[in-house]
């Protein structure tokens, strides 16, 4: 729309499983992000959505953590509901299959010869899957960086499950502000069966614009072995120092989650 200076990022890749790997490598290296449409087909996509809804309707999702302390009430900072699953639970069979496909793609891309920046990472694991539901009451998510302080996460993977999502009516755009593209933003609509990858560090500040319908996403964060080992070591050391009373800082929410 006028007023937004942003080049359209040529990401309308129609995918079938095998040749996605070069696309992921190329786009991550060129833009710091990659969008794959029709990632796993409507059958698996719908089955995964069904499972997410079933879990959500059990009322066991929690409020998302605070991204930043705010003077006014916490709700204004983020109003998504989240739940962590590892995908092996009996009520997550299809979500589990989806996660395996995403893992397979990332591992194949990470192992490809001369895969650019991806080659700087040795991806050896990931977080659990975070199921997220943004209630559609104009909720938003403030601009932030996923991994600002080298906690080990190198790639964010977000799978969207929103059938018939019209951004003009429902908003909910994920806007990424790529660090080294001064007047360019990437506006990613949270479309059904769309998979998004982006570097998790300061290269990709991002925000979710207000959504006017319930908005579903599944997020994974992949770890770089070295950065993760260092972060864990640092965390253990700080824990020991705290126990010894040598330092008095309280562990951050983020550290506790990790």
Q: Which residues contact 9 (CB under 8 A, 6 or more apart)?
A: 31, 33, 35, 186
Q: Is 146 in the site for Fe ion (CB under 5 A)?
A: yes
| Piece of the chain touching Fe ion by CB under 5 A; list 52-60, 114-122, 146-154, 192-200 | 146-154
Cβ at position 243, least distance to ligand PW5 in Å:
26
User: What is the separation of C-alpha 223 from the centre of its chain, rounded to a whole number of angstroms?
Assistant: 13
Q: Which of 141, 197, 198, 223 binds ligand PW5 (CB under 6 A)?
A: 141
146 vs 201 by CB, closer to Fe ion: 146
Pairwise CA distance, residues 213 & 217, whole Å? 13
Q: Which residues contact 93 (CB under 8 A, 6 or more apart)?
A: 51
Cβ at position 54, least distance to Fe ion in Å:
25
Cβ at position 141, least distance to Fe ion in Å:
7
Burial of 88: CB neighbours in 10 Å, binned 0-12, 13-18, 19+: exposed
Instruction: Residue 216: name the closest of 162, 168, 170 by CA.
Output: 162
Q: Which residues, numbered 148-177, are part of the site for ligand PW5 (CB under 6 A)?
A: 158, 174
| Piece of the chain touching ligand PW5 by CB under 6 A; list 42-50, 95-103, 107-115, 140-148 | 140-148
From ligand PW5, Fe ion, none, interface partner of 45 (C-beta below 5 to 8 A by class): none
When computed from its CA atoms, the radius of gyration of the chain, rounded to whole angstroms, is: 18
Pairwise CA distance, residues 158 & 50, whole Å? 17
79 vs 115 by CB, closer to ligand PW5: 79
From ligand PW5, Fe ion, none, interface partner of 178 (C-beta below 5 to 8 A by class): none
Where are the extended beta strands (E) located within the chain? 13-14, 33-37, 62-63, 81-85, 123-126, 129-134, 139-144, 153-160, 174-176, 186-188, 194-199, 206-211, 215-224
Contact predicate 152/232, CB 8 Å: yes
Helix crossing, 93-111 with 41-56: angle to 10°?
A: 120
Q: Which residues, numbered 39-98, are part of the site for ligand PW5 (CB under 6 A)?
A: 64-65, 82
| Piece of the chain touching Fe ion by CB under 5 A; list 11-19, 41-49, 145-153, 180-188 | 145-153
Contact predicate 55/91, CB 8 Å: yes
Cβ at position 252, least distance to Fe ion in Å:
16
22 vs 148 by CB, closer to ligand PW5: 148
Cβ at position 250, least distance to ligand PW5 in Å:
18
Q: Which residues, numbered 190-229, are part of the site for ligand PW5 (CB under 6 A)?
A: 190, 206, 208, 217, 219
Site residues (CB under 5 A) for Fe ion?
146
Site residues (CB under 6 A) for ligand PW5?
64-65, 82, 130, 132, 141, 144, 146, 158, 174, 190, 206, 208, 217, 219
């Amino acid at each position: 729309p006028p007023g937004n200076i942003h080049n359209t990022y040529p990401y309308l890749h129609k995918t079938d499983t095998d040749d996605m790997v070069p696309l992921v490598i190329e786009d991550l290296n060129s833009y710091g992000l990659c969008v794959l449409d029709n990632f796993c087909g409507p059958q698996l996509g719908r089955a995964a959505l069904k499972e997410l809804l079933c879990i959500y309707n059990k009322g066991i999702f929690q409020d998302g953590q605070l991204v930043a302390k705010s003077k006014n009430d916490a709700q204004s900072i983020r109003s998504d509901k989240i739940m962590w699953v590892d995908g092996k639970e009996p009520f997550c069979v299809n979500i589990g299959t989806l996660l395996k496909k995403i893992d397979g793609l990332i591992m194949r891309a990470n192992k490809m010869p001369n895969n650019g920046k991806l080659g700087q990472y040795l991806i050896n694991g990931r977080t659990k899957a975070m199921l997220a539901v943004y209630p559609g009451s104009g909720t938003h998510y403030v601009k932030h960086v996923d991994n600002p302080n080298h906690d080990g996460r190198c790639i964010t993977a977000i799978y969207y499950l929103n059938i018939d999502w019209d951004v003009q009516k429902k908003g909910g755009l994920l806007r990424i502000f790529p660090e080294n593209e001064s007047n360019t933003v990437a506006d990613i609509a949270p479309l059904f069966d769309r998979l998004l990858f982006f570097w998790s560090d300061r290269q990709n500040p991002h925000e979710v614009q207000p959504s006017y319908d319930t908005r579903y996403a599944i997020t994974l964060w992949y770890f770089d072995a070295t950065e993760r080992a260092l972060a864990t070591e640092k965390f253990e050391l700080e824990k020991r120092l705290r126990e010894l009373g040598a330092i008095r800082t309280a562990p951050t929410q983020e550290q506790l989650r990790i």
